[in-house]
Structure 1
């Protein structure tokens, strides 16, 4: 007789069946990682309810995977998937430790991933020249004027608040109203990892939001047109930047973004590099060490690990 699905496998599948955060590809990768994890703890611990998940189960799985020679990068991805699933489970009984806490409490060592692949930040000239270009296009009545206005505002949100392009595009009126009241912008399930986070509202961000909600109906989003899907809006603004960025790249910018003989192009993601570099510098000017500054900024950009900030610093000290 074939054994049916375990209760915890059914519970895991329900989590992923009802979540809409992240892309289809990311959700599929996360679910695949969790299937392996659930299969392991079902066999080893005979757990019946995922609400009982705790560190000892995660630690046992990591040790098992390490004994199989699985790379640390893969294990970190697995842990991200497990924590994402855990965040979606209602009324959990235990909090799961982050990687540093696992290391301190259980001597779990995950080698650092050499992920620094050069600096992707824009130079000030590149940013200012692009801003002037999109302002000019947006002020006209030609083709692409509306998208140019979107690009103008999204680039400002990316550079001064560290928002990913999807996070900016999916911005709703209710989120904006709350940010204008509190001075803090709440990124919700549109975040890449599905985890909510709070970002300080920048001066430029406040200006963008004030201008955008003037005639925006309740329930609408700032950059998504009526009948348009979020992914289509993201694709529209990304294509605009891709089609118009080359004239604004400078020699200085190309050299600073060089990695293994190839220069990284101007992207929205590159503006998150600008944000991190600016924010780390600001916190260090207050007297914090680089590590302390990184601990503050990493939460603002939606990461759990301080060492991720080294990626955004692009090799800068």
Structure 2
């Protein structure tokens, strides 16, 4: 039991900001689990990852002394909700990229509505291929070092550390985001604020406004919408195409790009490329 609890604790720290805290509320219902699964699948998460997340949610929900609703198992959810599926979902061959038009519209909309931080987070995710939680970890100290060295050092999933070459567009984003931030402070998480709150705010912004910015020729299947992860997909395709144009072999290009986005397998790049 101790081993399982430790595993679920680790999962929970990743899960909490993505799930918005529902795992520890007595009002969580089946519909929340289904909505969460659909969102994670739309981000390209594997069935194994989603199942692990659901196990963590159920574990923490079971620890609550009083809950209003009973959470069904995966089989019951699949029987009740037609859109719920874990086993048969395929992630390869699906274009999940955000187009340049959609990206620019998101930025414009965020800035016009006074959400400069949201615009900058989206820009760093898009221009440097970062996960949203990786962006929220950045501090002014990180930004200063990156601007000096030209390399953005990122600690990603599983503690994997990678160095991402700084694009000129990323340089401009980092420089702008440093303004008004004290040395040592986080770029996007203000004093007294939690990282998961910032993450949820950006996710909600994208979810609430993606229909307004949709490119009519986006090339995605009808059920696939723009999420925070879509910007990494676009970045990955750009970096892969740049290497192919320079004469690099396809396998080597996939391997290099995989490491660039915090993975170590070329088949992961294939997923991002929709192959």
Q: In which range does the TM-score fall when normalised by the shorter chain?
A: 0.5 to 0.7
In structure 1, the residue matched to 2:254 is 294
**Deviation of the 1:21 alpha carbon:** 9.9
In structure 2, the residue matched to 1:246 is 211
Q: Give yes or no for the alignment of 1:210 onto 2:175.
A: yes
Of the three residues 176, 179, 194, the one matched with 1:229 is: 194
Mark the CA change 1:175 to 1:18 in structure 2 (over 3 Å): closer, same or farther: farther
Mark the CA change 1:22 to 1:309 in structure 2 (over 3 Å): closer, same or farther: farther
Any idea what SS the aligned residue of 1:218 has? coil
Mark the CA change 1:133 to 1:114 in structure 2 (over 3 Å): closer, same or farther: closer
**Deviation of the 1:130 alpha carbon:** 2.0
Any idea what SS the aligned residue of 1:240 has? helix
- Tell me if the contact between 1:185 and 1:200 (Cα under 8 Å) persists in the aligned partners: yes
Any idea what SS the aligned residue of 1:167 has? helix
Q: How many residues align?
A: 209
**5+ unaligned residues in a row in structure 2: which ranges?**
18-46, 53-88
Distance in 2 separating the partners of 1:277 and 1:239: 25
Deviation beyond 6 Å, 4+ runs, structure 1? 15-21
Q: Give yes or no for the alignment of 1:269 onto 2:229.
A: yes
- Measured against aligned partners, the alpha-carbon deviations of 1:235-275 in whole angstroms (never above 9, x if no partner) come to 1111112112211112211xx110xxx43111110011100
**Deviation of the 1:20 alpha carbon:** 9.8
- Tell me if the contact between 1:22 and 1:192 (Cα under 8 Å) persists in the aligned partners: no
In structure 1, the residue matched to 2:29 is none
**Deviation of the 1:135 alpha carbon:** 2.5
TM-align CA RMSD: 3.0
In structure 2, the residue matched to 1:309 is 269
Of the three residues 2, 14, 21, the one matched with 1:23 is: 14
Mark the CA change 1:270 to 1:18 in structure 2 (over 3 Å): closer, same or farther: closer
Mark the CA change 1:233 to 1:288 in structure 2 (over 3 Å): closer, same or farther: same
**Deviation of the 1:211 alpha carbon:** 1.6
Distance in 2 separating the partners of 1:24 and 1:272: 19
Higher RCO, 1 vs 2 (CA within 8 Å, ≥6 residues apart): 2
- Tell me if the contact between 2:117 and 2:177 (Cα under 8 Å) persists in the aligned partners: no
- Tell me if the contact between 2:120 and 2:177 (Cα under 8 Å) persists in the aligned partners: no
- Tell me if the contact between 2:139 and 2:186 (Cα under 8 Å) persists in the aligned partners: yes
In structure 2, the residue matched to 1:136 is 112
Q: Which runs of structure 2 are paired with 1:1-317 in the superposition (5 Å)?
A: 23=14, 115-116=91-92, 118-137=94-113, 145=114, 148-188=115-155, 191-253=156-218, 256-258=219-221, 262-315=222-275
Mark the CA change 1:215 to 1:265 in structure 2 (over 3 Å): closer, same or farther: same
**5+ unaligned residues in a row in structure 1: which ranges?**
27-72, 79-112, 138-144
- Tell me if the contact between 2:188 and 2:198 (Cα under 8 Å) persists in the aligned partners: yes
Mark the CA change 1:217 to 1:294 in structure 2 (over 3 Å): closer, same or farther: same
Any idea what SS the aligned residue of 2:164 has? strand
Any idea what SS the aligned residue of 2:153 has? strand
Distance in 2 separating the partners of 1:263 and 1:128: 22
